[in-house]
């Protein structure tokens, strides 16, 4: 949990395929085919996450290089070894007491 002045922000980190970054950060679907789009939409829906496009910076890729792994958080939707980033999603904001 991160505190910004009098506002608390609850975040959750997920290790996800790096090629999802364009959609998650910029809503850029240009390089996604229909199957990949469906996989990402299913993952977002099942995890009750959105693109957070109305809140700047609410989804970001960590600054580190991608890792090549099969042990990522979208394995049910994309069951392959792939380069992944850690993405941080804001899941709740509230004013601190």
What band does 39 get if pLDDT is binned at 50, 70 and 90? very high
Q: Where does residue 59 rank: exposed (0-12), middle (13-18), buried (19+ CB within 10 A)?
A: buried
Please tell me which of 59-68, 73-82, 88-97 the model is most confident about, judged by mean pLDDT.
Answer: 73-82
Phi, psi angles (nearest 5°) of residue 28: -100, 100
Query: What average pLDDT does range 34-40 have in this prediction?
Result: 94
Q: Which residue has the higher pLDDT, 87 or 92?
A: 87
Q: How far apart are CA 86 and CA 62, in angstroms?
A: 6
The answer to whether 72 and 46 have CB atoms below 8 angstroms apart is no
From CA 29, how far away is CA 61, in angstroms rounded?
Answer: 17
Could you list the residue range(s) of the whole structural domain that residue 37 is in? Answer: 2-95
Choice between 52 and 20, residue whose per-residue pLDDT is larger:
20
Q: How many domains does the chain contain in total?
A: 1
Whether the predicted pLDDT of 76 surpasses 90: yes
Is 0.85 surpassed by the pTM of this model?
no
């Amino acid at each position: 949990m991160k505190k910004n002045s009098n506002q608390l922000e609850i975040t959750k980190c997920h290790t996800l395929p790096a090629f999802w970054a364009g959609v998650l950060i910029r809503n850029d679907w240009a390089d996604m085919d229909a199957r990949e789009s469906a996989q990402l939409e299913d993952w977002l829906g099942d995890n009750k996450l959105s693109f957070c496009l109305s809140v700047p910076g609410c989804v970001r890729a960590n600054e580190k290089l991608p890792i090549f792994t099969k042990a990522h958080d979208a394995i049910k939707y994309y069951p392959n070894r792939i380069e992944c980033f850690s993405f941080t999603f804001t899941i709740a904001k509230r004013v601190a007491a």
